[in-house]
Amino acid sequence: MSMLQNPILRGFNPDPNIVRVNDDYYIATSTFEWFGGVQIHHSTDLVNWRIIGQALNSIEQLDMRGVPDSCGVWAPQLSYTNGRFYLVYTNVKSFDGPWKDTPNYFVSTDDITGKWSQATYLNSSGFDPSIFHDDDGKSYLLNMLVDHRSNAFFGGIVMQELCLETNKLVGDVKLIFAGTELGCTEGPHILKRDDYYYLITAEGGTGYEHCISVARSKNVFGPYDVHPHNPVITAVNEPSNPLQKCGHGDFFQTQNGDWYTVFLTSRPLSERGRCITGRETGIEQIIWNDDGWPTAKHANKAPRLQVPVEGLTLNPQPQPSRHIDFSKNELTVDFQSLRIPMCKSWVYKNAQKSSLTLVGKESLSSLHQQSFIARRVQAHHTISTTHVDFMPTSFQQMAGLACYYNTAHYYYLHICGGDVGDETSPRYLNIISCDKYQTSTPIAPLKLNTDGPIYLKADFNGAQLQFYYAIEENCWIKFGPTLDGSILSDDYVQQSPQGYRPCFTGAFVGMACQDLSGQNKEAHFSFFNYDEPSGE
């Protein structure tokens, strides 16, 4: 017997959905505004996982230019039938007011590690789409229905037949489920077991009342009877449980006949506190009672940190290096860009400079063209370092190390220039703090008395974020005050003075370059290191 360690996918990896093909398990997770879209994770033992890529890697598959924060790719669902994988997803365009613009698409492939098809548009009636393949050969599209009337928001779970031969929706749209008293019903998946169709949904909202609910019917279109002991998984009554916000799940069976659920979860820094690692993926055992209803195998509905798994041979997966020397190595799959794909017009390996070169683009508050490459913060204590060669000629040109949640919340340790048009103007080291769109500089800019490259470091320990710099390697000098890193979390950002806004990602750290003058000034990064001293 082996033990699974929760969360199995650490850092921002929410809305998990899982499919088993023979001895291989694949999980798809949301990426929101981060490009490429949809993380695909692989395992053969449920213990060891690795990212095998992002499925949506072109503008034709995923156009997110201009989408607001925490919009973009929501709740993708991966399915498999007749030798082909299907991936359905929402590309949310707006979420303000009663109007929700939520076009749904799908792509497919017969090689999950290869190229996916171009996107096929399905509908725009709501979000969190999924495809159910029935054993009679028919397939169906489900999604949550948005009802803007009187700000109702939730209009039920709807379903329509999907013809995989023509890639068209056929027949009538039918309302199959109105949700339960837990509210905020979304993320529908259908599972068929014996004579019943089981409808698995997320309810209770995405915060600390999040949960997994179940209903069932002997007819795929319903009516669906609600589980008498809902919810099946939740931590709502266990505030001290280390895994919180548990919901948005999917059930699956191993090749040995055991049942599990994967689900969204978070690890707060304190009891019901802020979660800098965002919404992650956990796993728990499920059993089926004699009455045919599923329940958590252990007595508590709140998931455990360690979960046993039997009958699967351990198979450690190779992991991307956390230490990247750009004179030798490419960016690893851990790194993503914002809203647009990485292309050589703004990020490329520079053999002459032995570096990764970023071409300065728009500000960190832009929704369109940022020159920013970052990776997830996956532990409560991380140390990230880089080495940047940058010679700005203007205060509008900046490059450095950013700790980022969204366009309104980030900290940026950077090199910048002085007065415009003064070629003799010195360089400066500075910090920009952005909180609810308000920027400030928590320390006076430091004049750099060298033209050489600078080492930069972010020590992100719980809620405390401390920046450092160095002229010589490992000779670190503390720069600026200890900053509140916990603002880089859903929990803080959702307290926006503008009212409720989507807040669904997590903290990232990475390399950035801006040229607000439009002159495309370049910054050259020789390495990027990411460490987790706590060994989480």
Rounded CA gap, 409 and 488, in Å?
Answer: 6
In Å, how far are 360, 382, 450, 455, 532 from 458, measured between CA atoms? Answer: 21, 8, 21, 11, 12
- Decide: 294 and 214 in contact? Cβ < 8 Å: yes
Instruction: Give the tokens for residue 443.
Output: 């320390």
pLDDT of amino acid 233: 98
pTM: 0.97
Q: 3-state secondary structure string, 45-73?
A: CCCCCEEEEEEECCCCCCCCCCCCCCCEE
pLDDT of amino acid 498: 55
Instruction: Give the tokens for residue 404.
Output: 């980022």
pLDDT of amino acid 83: 98
pLDDT of amino acid 248: 97
pLDDT of amino acid 422: 62
Rounded CA gap, 504 and 424, in Å?
Answer: 45
pLDDT (tens digit, 9 = 90+) per residue, 112-123? 999 999 999 999
Residues of the chain with pLDDT under 70: 420-424, 496-501
Residue whose C-alpha is closest to residue 406's, from 477, 290, 514, 489: 489
Instruction: Give the tokens for residue 338.
Output: 């914002």
pLDDT of amino acid 428: 97
- Encode 182-196: b = buried (16+ Cβ within 10 Å), e = exposed: bebbbbbbbbeeeeb
Rounded CA gap, 347 and 360, in Å?
Answer: 9
pLDDT of amino acid 151: 80
- The domains located in the chain, with CATH, are 2-309 (2.115.10.20), 323-531 (2.60.120.200)
Rounded CA gap, 349 and 352, in Å?
Answer: 9
- Decide: 485 and 364 in contact? Cβ < 8 Å: no
pLDDT of amino acid 159: 98
Catalytic residues: 15, 186
pLDDT of amino acid 35: 98
Rounded CA gap, 329 and 389, in Å?
Answer: 18
pLDDT (tens digit, 9 = 90+) per residue, 147-177? 999 888 899 999 999 999 999 999 999 999 9
